[in-house]
């Protein structure tokens, strides 16, 4: 379809139609059928959206390098499109206290979370934009663990969205996720000085705070970012989770939602607490290393492969202009 204005408009219309009608319909079918059809849609998008497919594969090879052959990068890219379609179905199965989705998710490491909460200082669940992370946070609350998430809703600050589009995504995406959580998201907008205080209040109530630590820092947050080893390179990330854990005494546990080979069943893994003592950057690097290992094992689950701009902000790939220059130099050397 290319990357023309008409192509972008058609993709946007297709996405709206899928979230408004397609995914809700698939979520009411038997799970085996609904997720199979979602995968077929993902395969269709993979074939149809050549520009996005090319960007994804290029970013995968740029970051993971020799770990992925060109053929493997294409396989991961196809899987990325499949998982994106399935994630919409997950959100639409969050009805009736999330029971239709909870039946398909096995929680492993529940004992780690229960032991953490028994300490009376709450628990911090640390994750990434990996798989259906938002649905995972929402299904924990009706599973007996009061959850509040630190994180911005993407549609609130994404550029190029109209007021109507922002309202649409608030209704079809944020609303079904938020209604199952204990409190509204704690959104770390620039200039918000009460984020840590609000998160600490949740932990003092012996509840659960969830956070994805792989988000690219905003321009206003760059001064607080630290460079840590991540996906074979150095990424610029915010280490606030370590400070929050030290101030409140709450343990930090890693959590990831993995989709099984049949696409309908998933496993939510919760780790034992990670040590947060010592130097702040070193403690945060341990969290980042856990994320890096999980993403490397299952790269199709990671959302950011589709956004070169976010990967540039993280420091994992050079800006497109620099990439073009590097490629030209490689061609010159080879000739």
- 3-61: per-residue pLDDT in tens? 667 767 778 888 999 999 999 999 999 999 999 999 999 999 999 999 899 999 999 99
Report the pLDDT averaged over residues 321-331: 49
Give the span between the Cα atoms of 236 and 153, in whole angstroms: 21
**Structure pTM?**
0.90
Give the span between the Cα atoms of 189 and 151, in whole angstroms: 9
Most confident of 143-152, 154-163, 182-191: 143-152
Give the span between the Cα atoms of 278 and 294, in whole angstroms: 24
pLDDT, mean over the chain:
90
The residues facing 258 across adjacent strands are 267
The burial of 297, by beta-carbon neighbours within 10 Å (0-12 exposed, 13-18 middle, 19 or more buried), is given as exposed
Domain that holds residue 181: 5-334
What is the 3-state composition of the chain as percent helix, strand, coil, each rounded to the nearest 5? 60, 15, 30
**Per residue in 67-119, pLDDT tens?**
788 899 999 999 999 999 999 999 999 999 999 999 999 999 999 999 999 99
Q: How many domains does the chain have?
A: 1
How many Cβ atoms sit within 10 Å of the Cβ of residue 86? 25
Query: What's the distance, Cα to Cα, between the start and end of the chain in Å?
Result: 33
**Per residue in 182-204, pLDDT tens?**
999 998 866 566 888 999 999 99
Residue 322 has pLDDT above 50, yes or no: yes
> Residue for token digits 């199709």?
300
Which tokens in the block code for residue 88?
A: 């919409």
In degrees rounded to 5, what are phi and psi of residue 319?
-55, 155
Give the span between the Cα atoms of 69 and 49, in whole angstroms: 21
Give percent of the chain with pLDDT exceeding 70.
Answer: 92
Give the span between the Cα atoms of 295 and 302, in whole angstroms: 6
* Secondary structure (3-state) at 61: helix
> Residue for token digits 């998430």?
149
CA-closest candidate to residue 289, choices 210, 214, 204: 214
């Amino acid at each position: 379809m290319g990357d023309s204005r008409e192509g972008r408009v058609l993709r946007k219309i297709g996405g709206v139609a899928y979230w408004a009608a397609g995914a809700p319909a698939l979520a009411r079918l038997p799970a085996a059928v609904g997720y199979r059809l979602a995968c077929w849609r993902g395969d269709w998008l993979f074939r149809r959206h050549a520009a996005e497919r090319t960007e994804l594969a290029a970013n995968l090879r740029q970051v993971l390098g020799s770990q992925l052959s060109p053929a493997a990068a294409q396989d991961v890219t196809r899987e990325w499109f499949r998982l994106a379609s399935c994630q919409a179905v997950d959100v639409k199965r969050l009805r009736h206290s999330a029971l239709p989705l909870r039946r398909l998710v096995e929680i492993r490491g529940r004992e780690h979370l229960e032991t953490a909460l028994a300490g009376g200082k709450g628990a911090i669940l640390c994750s990434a934009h990996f798989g259906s992370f938002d649905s995972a946070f929402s299904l924990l609350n009706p599973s007996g663990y009061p959850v509040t998430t630190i994180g911005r809703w993407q549609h609130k600050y994404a550029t190029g969205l109209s007021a109507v589009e922002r309202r649409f995504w608030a209704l079809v995406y944020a609303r079904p996720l938020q209604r199952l959580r204990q409190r509204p998201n704690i959104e770390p907008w620039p200039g918000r000085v009460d984020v840590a205080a609000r998160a600490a209040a949740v932990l003092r109530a012996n509840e659960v705070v969830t956070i994805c630590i792989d988000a690219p820092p905003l321009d206003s947050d760059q001064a607080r970012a630290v460079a840590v080893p991540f996906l074979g390179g150095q990424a610029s990330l915010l280490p606030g989770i370590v400070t929050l854990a030290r101030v409140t005494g709450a343990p930090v546990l890693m959590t990831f939602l993995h989709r099984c080979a049949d696409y309908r069943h998933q496993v939510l893994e919760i780790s034992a607490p990670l040590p947060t003592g010592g130097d702040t950057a070193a403690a945060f690097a341990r969290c980042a290393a856990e994320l890096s290992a999980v993403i490397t094992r299952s790269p199709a689950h990671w959302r950011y492969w589709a956004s070169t701009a976010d990967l540039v902000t993280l420091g994992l790939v050079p800006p497109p202009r620099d990439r073009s220059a590097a490629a030209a130099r490689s061609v010159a050397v080879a000739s």
